[in-house]
Structure 1
């Protein structure tokens, strides 16, 4: 290999970041805002010849100069990132990359999870999607011999709109698998959202509330979901998340329907529903889109509840959230979240 030096970038330095950004622009790439570590390979002239970054356990923003292709630079960068992850106690990683780079990473022992038209997601490490499916199947006693219906929800917080959608799904199937987004990027932490949903649906005996893990609307499969950002990568993220759900989750758990609520407010969620309608039938899964529940002629939404919380309109909130959510919001912990998170967000 050429005489190159490997250096980490000081992400607090705008000058160093700009240098990486300019290098990535040559490949129609950007330095994502969520990266927590970036490394480069420089030549003797201090020019960047290759770079990569990570955001938690997700490797991204790879680029290698054309004149350095075939010099095994990707392997050097990947090995460094894996070592860095190990030192941070991370033993399972994802790579989001272009389809023409799949072979490069599979040769480095990454496993392809899903390939979309313009992007692909691969994983590496001691954990994988099969182990994830095995664990939730056993823990939540999922019966794969009967047809199931699925929902995927964030519930930030759990509203009567969410409850209505769950009820509609429960009427149609003997087993409803409600996958609750586990990524902690919402105002209400996962543990609190899980409690609200679990308590708020406990009377529906055919509903199982299951943590969605890293494979369903996560920072790896669908980061735009959390930042509500519409960009050229949105379709790729939507296809990957939908494809993984159909190819692995639906197949494993005999899911034949996925219920979604019509989305009148959020463009990202609305286009995601349309992608589901295109991808799910490939895996023999029907997408059932339900009109949302209304209160005073307005659709009930979690974002509406959050705004009302900031405005102190508890009189309205009581009418549009289930009892489990109402009790949580009036607890010390609930009030603390409203004070320290929501008031800063709005």
Structure 2
């Protein structure tokens, strides 16, 4: 039996380059958002590695010749125990479909797969129970509903217009706010701005998106290097999960989206919804986005204007609640962060 050690590494040292070099032999990348990495070493050489970002395990590989030595199990167990120590009892893995059997042997369960990628869950995760609990906690009934999934980074008049349109065309509407905190505006801030901003729309319910409405910011890039391929896989997987699990429990028959004249990623996402959701009995309602001076209102434009200190323009692009928040002391740290960033998230 090999004398194999499992250890954590400091990603701020040269060990990061060693992990990147090791992963490159599998045509894999070390994702930029990785928070922690462990490696398996034999006689000082890296023969396996695994990382996590939030609840997502990623950048997993074991050197050929060592793959029957139980190293995969040791790496997963080790990193799962580290998550337990942080109070995280559920974990997820995005991987290529060819790896499903490997991870199922390690007690991971398949949530959904598409051609390019499969999502698996482990630990206390259980998507069916999770979505049922979401519905139970929402106090909603089983009436037919329309739904929107929004990041709202931040909440704009464009978002408000789309929600208002759905509210006028349906008896009940749910707005799922993406929960993953990878946006410049924190989740609680984003959800609060939406909730206050649509208080007058009595048939609209604002809910947390939870762990299974996927953010494009957390979708892995380490085995899908080409951006267009990655975004297409993300869009299809997210649409399948929404259709398969959310629509039946919440009785959703319509999903509203805004048209996308500029962002190719959002355009691909809309195309995936049109392609996939109808098979789950969901009509996709694509609405022309609200424009100001012939330019569609977008959260990315608002962030750009924040960076440029053009709050006099922003005032005409966001609801009162968003503008008042931006003028408050609470927003100062967020605004500073936006000015330091590339404003892409």
Equivalent residues in 2 for 1:1-346, closer than 5 Å: 1-13=1-13, 15-44=14-43, 46-144=44-142, 146-218=143-215, 222=219, 230=227, 232-338=229-335, 340-345=336-341
Deviation larger for 178-187 or 263-272: 263-272
Would the alpha carbon gap of residues 125 and 88 (structure 1) be closer, same or farther in structure 2, given more than 3 Å must change? same
Would the alpha carbon gap of residues 65 and 174 (structure 1) be closer, same or farther in structure 2, given more than 3 Å must change? same
Whether the 8 Å CA contact 1:38–1:51 is kept in 2: the answer is yes
Deviation larger for 196-205 or 16-25: 16-25
1: distance between equivalents of 2:7 and 2:197?
A: 51
Runs (4 or more) in structure 1 with deviation over 6 Å come to none
Would the alpha carbon gap of residues 310 and 31 (structure 1) be closer, same or farther in structure 2, given more than 3 Å must change? closer
Would the alpha carbon gap of residues 41 and 161 (structure 1) be closer, same or farther in structure 2, given more than 3 Å must change? same
Whether the 8 Å CA contact 2:34–2:52 is kept in 1: the answer is yes
Q: Please list the CA deviations of residues 8-48 of structure 1 after superposition, one character each: whole Å capped at 9, or x if unmatched.
A: 222111x312222222122221111111221222223x332
2: distance between equivalents of 1:343 and 1:55?
A: 25
Partner-residue secondary structure (3-state), 2:284? strand
2: distance between equivalents of 1:327 and 1:47?
A: 56
Q: Please list the CA deviations of residues 268-305 of structure 1 after superposition, one character each: whole Å capped at 9, or x if unmatched.
A: 22211112222212322121111110111111111112
- Coordinate RMSD, CA, aligned: 2.0
Report how many aligned residue pairs link the two structures.
338
Whether the 8 Å CA contact 2:157–2:297 is kept in 1: the answer is yes
Deviation at 1:335, TM superposition (A): 4.3
1: distance between equivalents of 2:326 and 2:119?
A: 38
Whether the 8 Å CA contact 2:173–2:205 is kept in 1: the answer is yes
Whether the 8 Å CA contact 2:58–2:220 is kept in 1: the answer is no
Unpaired segments of 5 or more residues in structure 2? none
Deviation at 1:213, TM superposition (A): 1.2
Would the alpha carbon gap of residues 150 and 222 (structure 1) be closer, same or farther in structure 2, given more than 3 Å must change? farther
1: distance between equivalents of 2:80 and 2:212?
A: 20
Would the alpha carbon gap of residues 9 and 334 (structure 1) be closer, same or farther in structure 2, given more than 3 Å must change? closer
Whether the 8 Å CA contact 2:162–2:257 is kept in 1: the answer is yes
Ranked by relative contact order (alpha carbons within 8 Å, sequence separation 6 or more), the top structure is: 2
2: distance between equivalents of 1:54 and 1:18?
A: 17
